[in-house]
C-alpha cells in the first residue's frame, strides 16, 4: 500500500488531530503517503474541495498538532448511505483519481455506516471517536470486524452494523472508551465541581445538562465531580422519585447539584425534554431540553412556598437554575489519556489497512 486517505466525520471531538497524527506517524514508519480529505464525506463529493498531503517526504506537516482540539481536516455530518450507489461511485472515483488505496474514517456510528457503504469498493477501516462513548463492538466475541447481517425486511438486503447486539457491561464500556469521551467527562466533572460552590453559597438547586445523545456515559462520568444525583437515558425518569430525592438532599445540605443527560426518557421511552414542550406566543413549540424539563417538575412539585420559607424569599424559579455545559465538552485540548489513546488508534488503523483487515474498527 503506497497511499492512504484519512477523513474525519461527525461532530468534532478534542482528540481528532491526535488520531490523524498517530496515523501519519505510523504511515511514516511504513513509508506510506497520507492524504487528508477535507470536510468528511461531503468534501469528497465536491471536486472544488482540495486534499492535503499530510506527510510529504514522510515527515508530518507542522500544522498537524496532536494536542490541538478540533480537526485540521474539518468535519461534516454528511454521510454516504449504503443504498446510494451514485454517491458511492462518485466518492470511489474521486479516491481512485487521488490514487488512494485505503481509507481511514475517523468517526462514530454515522461514520461507521458511511465507511461500510464504501467497503465493497475500497479497503476502509474505522478509527473510532465520539464524546458520547456509544460506539459498541458489534459482537460479543469482541471481533472488530463489522459483518453485515442479512435482513430481508430491509430494502438494502442487509442490516447496517450500528448498535451493539446486547447491552454493554459498564466495565466493557470503560475499557473501550472512545477518544473524546475522557476529555468530555473531565470538562463536565469540573463544571459540576465549580457549579457546586455557587449552589452551596446561595442554597440553590443546580441542574446541569450534559451531552451524550441516548447514552448516559458522560453523565455517569460526572460522578468524578460528585453531584448529588445523575439522571441517564438508560433509566426512565420518574418525576415523583426525583422530587422525593431532591427534598431529601435539600433537607440534609440545603443545596443540590443534579446532572441530567440530554437524552433522558420518561417511563414510556419518550424524550423527557421534548415531551415537556411549551408554546411561545406565536404558537410555535419550544423545546425545553432535559434540564429545563426537570426544573419544571421541581418547581411544580416543591413550589415557591418551600423556597420562600427556607431561602430568603427566593421563588422556586429563581432558586433552581439550569446550565447546559454544551460544546465546551467537545472543544479545546484533549486530556492526555484521550490524546494517547487516539494516536494509538490512528496507528492501529494504518496497520489494519496494511494487514488487509478491512471493514474493521481499530481498538
**Any contact of residue 264 with ligand F6P (CB under 6 A)?**
no
CB-nearer residue toward ligand F6P: 15 or 250: 15
CB 82 within 8 A of CB 156: yes
Q: Which residues pair with 321 in a beta bridge?
A: 206
- Main-chain phi, psi angles of 321, to 5 degrees: -125, 150
Q: Which residue is nearest to ligand F6P (CB)?
A: 211
CA within 13 Å, CB half, 267: 4
Q: Which of 12, 109, 132, 134 is catalytic?
A: 132
Q: Which of 51, 17, 9 is nearest to 33 (CA)?
A: 51
Of 11 and 136, CB closest to ligand F6P: 11
| Interatomic CA distance for residues 204 and 198, integer angstroms | 8
For position 330 contacting ligand F6P by CB under 6 A, the verdict is: yes
Among 21, 131, 137, 297, binds ligand F6P (CB under 6 A): 131
Chain centre to alpha carbon of residue 159 = 22
State the minimum distance, in angstroms, from the CB of residue 233 to ligand F6P.
Answer: 11
Find the binder of ligand F6P among 43, 69, 74, 212 (CB under 6 A).
Answer: 212
Minimum separation from the CB atom of position 357 to ligand F6P (A) = 26
- Residue 213 within binding range of ligand F6P, rule CB under 6 A: yes
Q: State whether the Cα torsion 229-231-232-234 is positive or negative.
A: positive
Mask of contacts with ligand F6P, 170-189, x by CB under 6 A?
A: --------------------
Of the candidate spans 138-146, 210-218, 253-261, 295-303, the one that interacts with ligand F6P by CB under 6 A turns out to be 210-218
The answer to the question of residue 132 lying near ligand F6P (CB under 6 A) is yes
- Secondary structure (3-state) at 86: helix
Judged by CB under 6 A, how many residues of this single chain contact ligand F6P?
Answer: 9
Residue by residue, DSSP assigns 151-206 as: -TTSTTSEE---S-SSPPPHHHHHHTPPTTHHHHHHHHHHHHHHHHHHHHHHT-EE
Cell of 213: 445523545
> Is there binding between residue 11 and ligand F6P (CB under 6 A)?
yes
x/- mask, ligand F6P, residues 273-312, rule CB under 6 A, reads ----------------------------------------
Q: Which is nearer to ligand F6P, 35 or 79 (CB)?
A: 79
CB 293 within 8 A of CB 314: no
Residue 83 designated active-site: no
- Whichever of 55 and 329 has its CB closer to ligand F6P, that residue is 329
3-state secondary structure at position 124: strand
Residues 6+ apart with CB under 8 A from 11: 75, 77, 108, 130, 131, 330
Residue 220 binds to ligand F6P (criterion: CB under 6 A): no
Which residues are at the interface with ligand F6P (CB under 6 A)? 11, 130-132, 211-213, 262, 330
Active site residues: 132
Amino acid at each position: 500500500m503506497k497511499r492512504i486517505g484519512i477523513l474525519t466525520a461527525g461532530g468534532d471531538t478534542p482528540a481528532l488531530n491526535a488520531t490523524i497524527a498517530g496515523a501519519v506517524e505510523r504511515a511514516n514508519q511504513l513509508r506510506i503517503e497520507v492524504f487528508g480529505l477535507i470536510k468528511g464525506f461531503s468534501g469528497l463529493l465536491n471536486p472544488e474541495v482540495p486534499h492535503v498531503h499530510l506527510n510529504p517526504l514522510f515527515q508530518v506537516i507542522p500544522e498537524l498538532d496532536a494536542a490541538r482540539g478540533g480537526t485540521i481536516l474539518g468535519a461534516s455530518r454528511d454521510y454516504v448511505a449504503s443504498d446510494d450507489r451514485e454517491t458511492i461511485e462518485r466518492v470511489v472515483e474521486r479516491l481512485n483519481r487521488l490514487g488512494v488505496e485505503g481509507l481511514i474514517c475517523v468517526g462514530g456510528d454515522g461514520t461507521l455506516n458511511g465507511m461500510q457503504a464504501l467497503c465493497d469498493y475500497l479497503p476502509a477501516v474505522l478509527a473510532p471517536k465520539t464524546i458520547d462513548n456509544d460506539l459498541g463492538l458489534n459482537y460479543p466475541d469482541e471481533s472488530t470486524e463489522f459483518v453485515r447481517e442479512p435482513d430481508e425486511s430491509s430494502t438494502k438486503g442487509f442490516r447496517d452494523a450500528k448498535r451493539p447486539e446486547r447491552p454493554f457491561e459498564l466495565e466493557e464500556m470503560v475499557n473501550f472508551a472512545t477518544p473524546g469521551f475522557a476529555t468530555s467527562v473531565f470538562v463536565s466533572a469540573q463544571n459540576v465541581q465549580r457549579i457546586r460552590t455557587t449552589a452551596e453559597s446561595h442554597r440553590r438547586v443546580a441542574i446541569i445538562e450534559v451531552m451524550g445523545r441516548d447514552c448516559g456515559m458522560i453523565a455517569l462520568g460526572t460522578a468524578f465531580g460528585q453531584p448529588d444525583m445523575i439522571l441517564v437515558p438508560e433509566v426512565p425518569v420518574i418525576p415523583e422519585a426525583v422530587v422525593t430525592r431532591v427534598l431529601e438532599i435539600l433537607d440534609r445540605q440545603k443545596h443540590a447539584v443534579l446532572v441530567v443527560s440530554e437524552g433522558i426518557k420518561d417511563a414510556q421511552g419518550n424524550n423527557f425534554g421534548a415531551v415537556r414542550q411549551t408554546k411561545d406566543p406565536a404558537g410555535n413549540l419550544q423545546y425545553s431540553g432535559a434540564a429545563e424539563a426537570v426544573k419544571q417538575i421541581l418547581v411544580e412539585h416543591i413550589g415557591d412556598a418551600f423556597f420562600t420559607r427556607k431561602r430568603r424569599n427566593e421563588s422556586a424559579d429563581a432558586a433552581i437554575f439550569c446550565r447546559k455545559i454544551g460544546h465546551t465538552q467537545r472543544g479545546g485540548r484533549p486530556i492526555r489519556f484521550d490524546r494517547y489513546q487516539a494516536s494509538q488508534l490512528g496507528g492501529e488503523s494504518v496497520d489494519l489497512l496494511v494487514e488487509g483487515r478491512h471493514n474493521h474498527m481499530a481498538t
